[in-house]
Amino acid sequence: MTSAQSTRSPGDADEERRRISEEIAMRLRRNGVQLTGTERSDELADLEEAVERFERMVERGGGDLMVDEPVSGSAPIAPDEPDFVLPTRKPSESIASYIKHIEEAAARAGHKGRAD
Using CA atoms, how far residue 19 sits from 15, 44, 60, 67, 92, in Å, is 6, 12, 32, 30, 25
CA 39 – CA 32 distance, rounded (Å)? 16
CA 79 – CA 40 distance, rounded (Å)? 31
What's the total number of domains in the chain? 1
Are the C-beta atoms of 56 and 50 separated by less than 8 Å? no
Q: What are the tens digits of pLDDT across the range 52-84?
A: 999 999 988 888 776 555 555 555 456 667 888
Q: What are the tens digits of pLDDT across the range 29-43?
A: 998 899 999 999 999
The parent domain of residue 110 ranges over 3-115
**pTM score:** 0.77
- The confidence score (pLDDT) of residue 5 equals 55
How many Cα atoms sit within 13 Å of 20 on the Cβ side?
13
Q: What are the tens digits of pLDDT across the range 7-26?
A: 767 788 889 999 999 999 99
CA 72 – CA 3 distance, rounded (Å)? 47
Alpha helices in 31-81 (DSSP H): 41-60, 65-68
Q: What are the tens digits of pLDDT across the range 83-111?
A: 888 999 999 999 999 999 999 999 998 88
More confident residue, 4 or 90: 90
